[in-house]
């Protein structure tokens, strides 16, 4: 039995659902997960509950008696914006779910395809996002308190520090964070030259940024950049250092520098001039570095949350949920711009035998190896996803059926020749692949069903084959599988 003090410390969930069977199943499941659950089947009762106490998460149906799910969602986001909301959809048109997401819902789950495992995962991610947001708010609040303490001693410095906190606390891209930190430092302290070098997970991110005074000699600029690069390499290698150490072979007589490091991210900042820096300037510089590090940590956490929300944990490919979001988008683009859209549905042959004879760890290795190949074996514009178990799908924008079948043959050919290293021997696998193309009468589910049916025909024909939308295996190019070519 859980006492009231323990109950109040648990995360509180309001469940609003008028379907008695689903209501009971979800309530029992959430209570089994040790959440504090309050239940109601009516929209007006739910509103009264929300006005009485704060909830961490609200689960509600779009269609409710009393007040609709959208009306409740709008009230929650206006009056309790830190409360996460997950909605259930029945047979309502997609417009209701789209409007819910625009109003701030974390997710909309279709009742027809929802499982308890899926519910558990979405609830966990929604609550984790709330915790991260609250942690970020606490961090911002702490920074502001630190800024107010500095105001007792240096009012001008406080203005600059506040600018840093406000600029770096908002959601940023990697590019905005790098350039923003350099610009803030440049505007706050009198440097002749300022530079930042960065290493992190962001794709396409500029790895360095500089500001310089007009007229600074090019040999001084080149020397400064070379020294910053050398120091960055030392820091990346884990060499200990402090901001009082001089840059090697420094080309300016006075240098301030420091590093911000968290997880995969490392940023090293240095600024130089010919006159000495005061202790107050050096301290302000270090405040910039510390807040830059906090901003790096926040952005890295947000990137990880985004990745967890859309990526399959084992293979790293897009997951089932995100696949359906991408499919809706690609169908819309296909019809808007009158370009073809094809899909491949791929299933490993005899995968149960691999799991039963070699074990699930080796089965996982097979899935990860296949996923890595699919990622590299398709075009950059194509999208590979894990559909579930040993099933994978590949969306092929601007691709007709004939081109899709050629790609499927190439993938099948290379998969059948992959050697997966296991203890004592190499394992060879095969896959059956179905191909389908979007037609005017199809929706997303119909396209998936067509590709799945084609894959099933390939299975029925003996496996290790490619089938299109018509019964029977797709014909190989002259010369058989060897003529498929490299991806």
**Structural contact between residues 239 and 232, judged by C-beta atoms closer than 8 angstroms:** no
- Identify whether 87 is part of a domain: yes
**pLDDT reported for residue 332:** 92
pLDDT at 166: 54
Tell me: do 91 and 194 sit in the same domain: no
In a domain, 146, yes or no: no
Q: How far apart are CA 475 and CA 188, in angstroms?
A: 68
The pLDDT score that the predictor gives to residue 227 is 84
**Same domain? 331 vs 451:** yes
Phi-psi region of 248 (alpha: psi -120 to 50; beta: other; left: phi over 0): beta
Statement to judge: residues 284 and 326 lie in one domain: no
Residues 479 and 342 in one domain: yes
Q: Cα(300)–Cα(102) distance, rounded to whole angstroms? A: 25
Q: What is the predicted pLDDT for the residue at 417?
A: 92
CATH of the domain at 87: 3.40.50.2300
Q: What is the pLDDT of residues 45-90, one digit of tens each?
A: 888 988 988 899 998 888 888 888 888 888 988 898 888 888 888 7
Q: Flag whether 137 is in a domain.
A: no
Is residue 47 located within the same domain as residue 174? Answer: no
In-domain check, residue 139: no
Are the CB atoms for 200 and 265 separated by under 8 Å? yes
Question: Do 375 and 436 belong together in one domain?
Answer: yes
The answer to whether position 304 is within a domain reads yes
Contacts of 310 (CB under 8 A, 6+ apart): 318, 319, 321, 322
Order of strands, sheet of 84-89, starting from the edge strand that comes earlier in the sequence? 36-40, 12-16, 57-61, 84-89, 107-110
Residue 269: which domain range?
A: 154-308
- Report whether 422 contacts 365 (CB < 8 A): yes
pLDDT at position 169 is 54
Round to whole Å and give the CA distance between 165 and 137. Answer: 12
d(CA 352, CA 349): 8
Q: Which of 308, 330, 354 is the last residue of a domain?
A: 308
What CATH number is attached to the domain comprising 382?
3.30.70.270
For residues 262 and 364, state if they share a domain. Answer: no
Are 334 and 465 members of one domain? yes
Which of 128, 208, 390, 477 is flagged as catalytic? Answer: 390
Q: What is the pLDDT of residue 2?
A: 38
Query: Is 54 annotated in the active site?
Result: no
In a domain, 39, yes or no: yes
Domain count, the chain: 3
335 and 190 assigned to the same domain = no
Please report whether residue 421 resides in a domain.
Answer: yes
- Give the DSSP per-residue string, 441-482: T--HHHHHHHHHHHHHHHHHTTSS-EE-SSSSBPPPPTTGGG
Kindly state whether residues 279 and 340 are assigned to the same domain: no
Residue 391, pLDDT score? 94
Closest CA to 462 of 352, 349, 344, 345: 349
- Of 53, 85, 54, the closest CA to residue 70 belongs to 85
Return the pLDDT at 487.
32
Q: What is the CATH number of the domain that holds 299?
A: 3.30.450.40
Q: How many CB atoms are closer than 10 A to CB 211? A: 17
Q: Do β-strands 208-212 and 265-273 pair in parallel, antiparallel, or remain unpaired? A: unpaired
Element (H, E) at 410: helix 401-416
End-of-domain residue from the set 308, 339, 356: 308
Say yes or no: 120 and 217 in one domain: no
Domain boundary among 132, 167, 187: 132
Q: Are residues 161 and 272 in the same domain?
A: yes
Pairing assessment for the beta strands 265-273 and 254-262 based on DSSP bridges: antiparallel
Positions of the chain with pLDDT lower than 70, given as ranges: 1-9, 91-95, 146-172, 174, 201-206, 239-251, 299, 301-308, 471-487
Helix (H, G, I), strand (E, B), or coil: what is residue 436? strand
Q: What pLDDT was estimated at residue 168?
A: 55
The answer to whether residue 147 sits within a structural domain is no
């Amino acid at each position: 039995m859980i006492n009231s003090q323990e109950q109040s410390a648990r995360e509180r969930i309001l469940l609003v659902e008028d379907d008695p069977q689903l209501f009971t199943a979800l309530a029992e499941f959430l209570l089994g997960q040790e959440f504090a659950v309050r239940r109601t089947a009516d929209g007006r009762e739910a509103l009264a509950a929300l006005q009485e106490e704060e909830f961490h998460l609200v689960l509600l149906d779009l269609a409710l008696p009393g007040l609709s799910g959208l009306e409740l969602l709008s009230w929650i986001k206006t009056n309790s914006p830190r409360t996460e909301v997950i909605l259930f959809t029945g047979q309502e048109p997609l417009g209701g779910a789209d409007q819910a997401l625009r109003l701030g819902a974390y997710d909309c789950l279709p009742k027809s395809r929802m499982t308890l495992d899926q519910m558990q995962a979405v609830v966990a991610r929604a609550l984790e996002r709330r915790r991260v947001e609250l942690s970020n708010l606490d961090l911002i609040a702490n920074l502001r308190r630190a800024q107010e303490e500095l105001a007792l001693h240096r009012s001008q410095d406080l203005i600059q520090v506040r600018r840093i906190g406000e600029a770096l606390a908002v959601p940023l891209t990697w590019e905005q964070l790098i350039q923003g930190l350099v610009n803030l430092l440049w505007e706050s302290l009198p440097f002749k030259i300022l530079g930042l070098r960065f290493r992190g997970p962001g794709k396409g991110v500029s790895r360095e940024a500089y500001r310089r005074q007009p007229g600074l000699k090019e040999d001084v600029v080149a020397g400064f950049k070379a020294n910053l690069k050398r120091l960055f390499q030392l820091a990346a290698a884990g060499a200990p250092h402090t901001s009082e150490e001089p840059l090697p072979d420094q080309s300016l007589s006075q240098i301030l520098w420091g590093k911000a490091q968290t997880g995969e991210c490392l940023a090293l900042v240095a600024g130089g001039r010919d006159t000495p820096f005061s202790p107050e300037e050096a301290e302000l510089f270090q405040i910039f570095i510390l807040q830059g590090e906090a901003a790096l940590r926040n952005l890295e956490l947000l990137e990880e949350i985004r990745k967890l929300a859309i990526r399959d944990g084992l293979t790293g490919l897009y997951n089932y949920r995100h696949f359906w979001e991408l499919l809706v988008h690609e169908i819309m683009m296909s019809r808007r711009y009158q370009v073809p859209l094809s899909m491949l549905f791929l299933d490993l042959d005899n995968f149960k035998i691999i799991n039963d004879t070699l074990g699930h760890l080796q089965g996982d290795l097979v899935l990860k190896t296949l996923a890595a190949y699919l990622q590299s074996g398709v075009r950059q514009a194509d999208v590979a996803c894990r559909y579930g178990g040993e099933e994978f799908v590949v969306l092929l924008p601007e691709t007709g059926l004939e081109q899709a079948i050629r790609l499927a043959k190439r993938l099948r050919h290379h998969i059948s020749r992959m050697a997966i290293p296991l203890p004592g021997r190499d394992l060879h696998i095969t896959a059956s692949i179905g191909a389908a193309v979007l037609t005017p009468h199809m929706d997303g589910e119909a396209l998936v069903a067509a590709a799945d049916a084609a894959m099933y025909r390939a299975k029925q024909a003996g496996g290790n084959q490619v089938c299109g939308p018509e019964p029977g295996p797709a014909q190989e190019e002259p010369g058989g599988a060897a003529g498929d070519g490299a991806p």
